[in-house]
Amino acid sequence: MSSRNSRTQMLYTLGFLFFLISAFAAFFTGVKVGADKTEAKYAHLTAEETTEEFSGSYQQQDLVTFYHNVFLPYREFKLHWNEEVDKLSRSTDSRENAATLKNLGILADKQYEKVTQDSIFSGSPLLHEAQLNILKSLTLFSQASGKISAGASGTEIAKQLNSDKFTVSAAKFGLLAQKNFYDSMLKWGSKVNTKIPAQLGELKTLSFVQWKKMPLLQKNATISDIMLNRSIFAGYDPQDITAKIDDMIYSGTASSLSLKDIQSCVNLLTSTDAVQEADYMKWREQYYAKETVPQLPFLNE
């Protein structure tokens, strides 16, 4: 009898362990499933034959088309998402919190529909990849807003939302798409100005001397790389951090704060929320009037 009970207990224990393992596996593969749904839906985009990355066209028209049809809808979403999550963190109204979560999901779906879903960047592989990454990001943001319970306080909801696996992956895909876009601008720049490199190479700690020698497009691509590596998903753009750093260097602020390199500048600026949208525009004429940049609204207007 004792032997039968032991076997029964062992079977129950094994069954329970199997259930736990299955549950954890389902949870950690959920993010991948969400992203894969988008990839599967637009498999025709990746199925098309594309040229080698380094022989891609990266014409100015490619960049302009991508900006208006893909990047701008996502940029608008990113601004709104950050603003609403910030409001959530200070809210005490449960109804309002539930409405905010619902509206964030609706906005992600709306911007998803706005993003160009036809393959129009087959000659520019990085833009092609960025397009898919943005679609994945919006899919995951929509799913993240739908799975968080509105029953908790606004502070707790914002905390859960920011740490949720779907949100973290959504932000990562968005930052990867941003890097794809800024690397594409660098490739375009190398075709129209021989002083501009076609790619960044290995990212190392950058001294102010090295930074000053860089053209603007290289600086921006470098910052987009740092933002990806450090998961800086903010409302501002890489050129805003670039401009803030340049002003700190040329005004003497960086020296007075005993900052030694670009990475330490980024740490200080982002940890203190010192970067604002349109900081680049604030110093565009002062520092970048002679720089080679594509005719994109957020670099020229």
Q: What is the pLDDT of residues 33-72, one digit of tens each?
A: 555 555 555 444 444 443 344 457 799 999 999 999 999 9
Joined together, the tokens standing for residue 202 give 């290995």
Within 10 angstroms of residue 76's Cβ, the number of other Cβ atoms is: 14
What is the rounded radius of gyration, in angstroms, for the C-alpha atoms of the chain? 23
- Mean pLDDT across 142-169: 90
Contact 185, 130 (CB under 8 A): no
Query: What percent of the chain lies above the pLDDT cut of 90?
Result: 72
Confidence of residue 9 (pLDDT cuts 50, 70, 90): low
How far apart CA 181 and CA 146 sit, in angstroms, is 29
Place of tokens 């890097």: 179
pTM to 2 decimal places: 0.84
